[in-house]
Amino acid sequence: MKPFADLLDRLSYTPSRNAKLRLMQEYFRTTPDPDRGWGLAALTDGLPFSFPLRRTLGEMVARRVDPVLFSLSRDYVGDTAEAIALTWPDPEQASAAPRLSEIVSELALVDRNALADLLGTWLDKLDATERWALLKLLTGALRVGVSARLAKTAAAAMAGFEVEQVEEVWHGLAPPYEPLFAWIEGRAPKPDITDAPVFRPMMLSHALEDPDWAALDLSQFAAEWKWDGIRVQIAAKGGETFLYSRTGDAIQRSFPDVVDNFRFDAVLDGELLVMQEGQVASFNDLQQRLNRKSVSRRQMEKFPAHIRLYDALMIEHEDLRPRPFVERRAALERWHARVRPPRTDLSSLIEVASKDELQRLWASTRETGIEGIMLKRRDGPYIGGRPKGEWYKWKRAPLMLDCVLMYAQRGSGKRSSYYSDYTFGAWRDVPGGSRELVPVGKAYFGFTDAELLEIDRWVRHNTVESFGPVRAVAPGLVLEVAFDAVQKSTRHKSGVAMRFPRVHRIRWDKPAAEADRLESLIAMIEG
Amino acid sequence: MQLPQKFESWLRRDAAGLCCAPGGFHIDPVRAVPRAIITHGHSDHARAGHGAVLATRETIAVMKARLGPDCASTFQETRYGEPIEMNGVTVRLAPAGHILGSAQVVMDHGGRRAVVSGDYKRRSDPTCAPFELVRCDLFVTEATFGLPVFRHGTDDHEIGRLLTSVRTFADRTHLIGVYGLGKAQRVIALLRAFGYERPIWLHGALKSMCDLYAEAGVELGPLAMVADAEGKLPGEIVLCPPSALKDRWTRRLTEPLTAFASGWMRVRARARQRGVELPLIISDHCDWPELVQTIAESEAEEVWVTHGREDALVHQIGLMGKRGRALALLGYEEEEGE
């Protein structure tokens, strides 16, 4: 338990992605099987059990710690599980603490009524950090700032692999992942997952830059709308359907309204959208359906999910990935016409005669649900990862607004001595003839290191109030903010929420009084 | 059975702090008084402006270095164990094990003995004399870590974690926040005891107290100033005051990995508030088991708690069958929180 507890402890305090990767790699490198595999499971899909322990733990601690002292401790610490871990009596002498794998295998078999006793004997043998880690593990939520993908990235990097290589085999394997580590360490071949409905690494696009556009021969590319949903891969086989996000997370449990109707054998690529009366709804509506463990009937009725398909990786037993895009597309069309899976349609191709025409279309389209245009090489195979020169995304030009810096917050990690996270506002009138700034968004990138240094200095010289890591500044610095869209929001004071805001330019030259008004932003709301 | 008033008749709290009325002196007063006994040099205990100050030689040296040579009208040095008569109260200082020169005040009066511990710890510390257990009738204790959640673990464990991290992140600077008096020197001495021989780099604010410790004969090994560094010190260990951990000053280091050496680091929210990446539980105060142990071993029938988390400790004292009382002295725990 010690190595895993130490890892969780360090991770919980480490903000930097690279540092987290290094800590996890160190753990995988120095911890033997099967413990490290269970560690990886805990960091990714979670362990296959969780226990409602609140009552049990309360009773257990009451038998060991004076109730008044425990209550004062819990109030001070602010977290019951941590207070239990800290106040639980330490072992009299160093005894053999259980290994993570022992804990997991005993938990898999334990009778609910015997759980308290088992847990007590473990806690008696563990130190404070281990007790804290065990309680986190049992209650299901680690919350150490590590995504499943990051943990897989760390494992992959041990062998110099890309994370996609691990993603590809991931859903065909089960904890404690011994074949995975054997492969990573070069002791065994790649695990065989041919027949499992597993995640296949997705083909990703590059942003279309001006030189790309200039050099592009449109006859070699197919054009499609870029839909403003989330990219998904549908992997269905034998009545079982997985819906994978771009990062390989299985999300089908949130979308029974689409997957429960699928009865086919294929691996398809498409966009998950919310469709209302035949129209693509805003991303805001889609967000109501994301990151939910369970979904209510009401949500499914109000925000019906739909998948717009644009590519096929496998149909029945045939792996289409080596075939050119146009052939895969034709196969997808034939298959869709034959199978007609409900709640799906095909993303139509845009037929244009010239680059000029396409550019006009790109510049003029501001329809809800469309983010821009995709360009895909007609003769290109389906390659996992982000191959060069194959697929381009041509996002429509961003919206812009001149905003006034209102608050600056210190960043984390490398940026912890810099005020690098900015909340900015737009003007609005208040009764009595004056006006005020109302916050409209927050951005923490879009500027160079040299600009960061300058803004940091400006913030320090123009602070009017400090709240911990946050400084309120005098209205004096105008930021030209770029964003992809703006939507109504009841969660924000301004009543609007920007999508993907970033600092486009710093307008040192522009007086704050001449920055934009909230009305201008509201006028940009679509639909 | 003693009457409750017994000790209050000659030891009591007033606006300046704890006062020994017949002896005519205060202990660690927070306001200027004619006569003060100072237990140790931390700024919440040793303040300027008193008339006569009685303390150990080291504490007086610290006071003069930090508060100026004229911070009191007169100074009287005393050695541990040397008895001094003060109007019928026999006073002597005993080592408290907190920092260099730190002392408990032992007072005998009318056949009864009171011990005011000041800040103290029980575990060994290479930079100061070890705590001396003095049996007494009244024990006056601090309660900085007076909750059962505070158990400090071993210094070896914490220094081991630090050195492991230095190896894992060999391309970054490890920046450790430490209090300038006591903790800085203790962390350096612990690293040396672990065989760490590289120069240890210091923020300018830590220099004078390290010099003072070195002059007092505490071995600290090679120290260097960050201001004199040629590069950005990747792979090195740098010490700074806690207030400098997030300061612009840190930009002269390589991707600093921030650590903080303090008993508070036992509680996760405390470490997170400070944005610490590597919390090191190294304290110059007793943890909970040591407080309880010391109260038991003192054999005192009555225990007063000066400052800290006194609710829990007074409750515990009651559980031990002793009379406990919270003095709720204000003005302590102000030197950057420990």
pLDDT in tens, A482-514: 998 888 888 888 899 998 899 999 999 899 999
Tell me how crowded residue B49 is: count the other CB atoms within 10 A of its CB: 14
DSSP code, position A11: H
C-beta atoms of A73 and B271 within 8 A: no
Measured in angstroms, the CA of B14 and the nearest CA of chain A are apart by: 28
Residue A302's closest CA among A327, A277, A335?
A277
Q: Specify the pLDDT at position B162.
A: 97
Q: Specify the pLDDT at position A527.
A: 57
Residue B28 CB burial class (10 angstroms; 0-12, 13-18, ≥19): buried
Average pLDDT over residues B216-233: 96
Stretch among A152-166, A245-259, B53-67, B202-216 having the lowest mean pLDDT: A245-259
Is the pLDDT reported for residue B3 higher than 70? no
| Closest chain B residue to the Cα of A83, Cα to Cα | B149
Which residues of A are less than 8 Å from B268 in CB distance?
A: 12, 77, 79, 82
CB nearest A414 (choices: B150, B255, B267) = B255
Provide the token pair at A409.
């917050």
Mean pLDDT, chain A, whole residue set:
90
Pick the residue of A2, A8, A10 with the most B CBs within 10 A to test the interface with B by mutation: A10
Residue A98's closest CA among A146, A35, A142, A28?
A35
Write down the H helix ranges in chain B: 5-8, 57-67, 155-168, 183-193, 207-215, 268-273, 288-298, 310-319
For residues A346 and A309, give the distance between their C-alpha atoms in angstroms, rounded to a whole number.
5
Provide the token pair at B196.
């760490």
Q: Specify the pLDDT at position B336.
A: 45
Count residue pairs from A and B with Cβ separation < 8 A: 82
Q: At what angle do helices A54-62 and A67-77 cross, to 10 degrees?
A: 130
Q: Specify the pLDDT at position A98.
A: 93
For residues A351 and B22, give the distance between their C-alpha atoms in angstroms, rounded to a whole number.
102
C-beta atoms of B169 and A10 within 8 A: no
pTM for the full predicted model: 0.78
- Going by pLDDT thresholds of 50, 70 and 90, the confidence category of residue B160 is very high
Residue pLDDT, tens place only, B62-73:
999 999 999 999
ipTM of predicted complex: 0.92
Measured in angstroms, the CA of A29 and the nearest CA of chain B are apart by: 12
Average pLDDT over residues B17-43: 96
Residue A73 · residue A124 · CB < 8 Å: no
- Residues 6 or more apart whose CB falls under 8 angstroms from that of A382 comprise A203, A269, A311, A313, A320, A321, A322, A323, A325, A328
Measured in angstroms, the CA of A42 and the nearest CA of chain B are apart by: 21
Average pLDDT over residues A125-129: 94
Measured in angstroms, the CA of A82 and the nearest CA of chain B are apart by: 8
C-beta atoms of A416 and B168 within 8 A: no
Measured in angstroms, the CA of B93 and the nearest CA of chain A are apart by: 33
Measured in angstroms, the CA of A510 and the nearest CA of chain B are apart by: 28
Measured in angstroms, the CA of A349 and the nearest CA of chain B are apart by: 48
For residues B105 and B82, give the distance between their C-alpha atoms in angstroms, rounded to a whole number.
11
For residues B336 and B178, give the distance between their C-alpha atoms in angstroms, rounded to a whole number.
10
Residue A524 · residue A486 · CB < 8 Å: yes
Residue pLDDT, tens place only, A328-365:
999 999 999 999 999 999 999 999 889 999 998 888 77
Measured in angstroms, the CA of B49 and the nearest CA of chain A are apart by: 33
For residues B329 and B211, give the distance between their C-alpha atoms in angstroms, rounded to a whole number.
32
Give me the percent of chain B exceeding a pLDDT of 90: 89
C-beta atoms of A86 and B267 within 8 A: yes
C-beta atoms of B309 and A77 within 8 A: no
- Residues 6 or more apart whose CB falls under 8 angstroms from that of A457 comprise none
- Going by pLDDT thresholds of 50, 70 and 90, the confidence category of residue A34 is very high
Q: Specify the pLDDT at position A124.
A: 93
Pick the residue of A73, A79, A418, A466 with the most B CBs within 10 A to test the interface with B by mutation: A73
Q: Specify the pLDDT at position B101.
A: 97
Residue pLDDT, tens place only, A444-489:
988 888 899 999 999 999 999 988 889 999 999 999 999 988 888 8
Measured in angstroms, the CA of B275 and the nearest CA of chain A are apart by: 8
Written as one letter, the residue type at A479 is: L
Interface of A with B (CB under 8 A): 6, 10, 12-15, 19, 22-23, 26, 65-66, 68-70, 72-73, 76-79, 82-83, 86-87, 90, 127-128, 410, 412-414, 416-417, 469
CB nearest B248 (choices: A14, A70, A417) = A417
DSSP string over B159-177: HHHHHHHHHHTTTS-EEEE
Based on its alpha-carbon atoms, the radius of gyration of chain B, rounded to whole angstroms, reads 20
Interface of B with A (CB under 8 A): 147-151, 153, 161, 165, 168-169, 246-248, 250-251, 255, 257-258, 266-269, 271-272, 275-279, 309, 311-312, 315-316, 319
CB nearest A86 (choices: B246, B266, B312) = B266
CB nearest A65 (choices: B148, B151, B248) = B148
Residue B282's closest CA among B121, B100, B58, B94?
B121
Handedness of CA B53, B58, B62, B64 (dihedral sign): positive
- Residues 6 or more apart whose CB falls under 8 angstroms from that of A504 comprise A398, A400, A446, A479, A480, A481, A482
C-beta atoms of B315 and A90 within 8 A: no
For residues B226 and B214, give the distance between their C-alpha atoms in angstroms, rounded to a whole number.
19
| Closest chain A residue to the Cα of B248, Cα to Cα | A417
CB nearest A72 (choices: B246, B268, B311) = B311
Q: Specify the pLDDT at position A343.
A: 94
- Going by pLDDT thresholds of 50, 70 and 90, the confidence category of residue A29 is very high
C-beta atoms of A73 and B149 within 8 A: yes
Element (H, E) at A57: helix A54-62
CB nearest A14 (choices: B149, B277, B315) = B277
SS3 call for A257: helix
Long-range contacts of A487-496 (CB under 8 A, 24+ apart): A487/A282, A487/A283, A487/A284, A487/A525, A487/A526, A488/A284, A488/A525, A489/A284, A492/A439, A492/A440, A493/A438, A493/A439, A494/A425, A494/A426, A494/A438, A494/A439, A494/A440, A494/A518, A494/A521, A495/A522, A496/A440, A496/A521, A496/A522, A496/A525
Pick the residue of A26, A30, A77 with the most B CBs within 10 A to test the interface with B by mutation: A77
Write down the H helix ranges in B26-121: 57-67
- Going by pLDDT thresholds of 50, 70 and 90, the confidence category of residue A48 is confident
Q: How far is CA A73 from the centre of its chain?
A: 35
- Going by pLDDT thresholds of 50, 70 and 90, the confidence category of residue B2 is very low
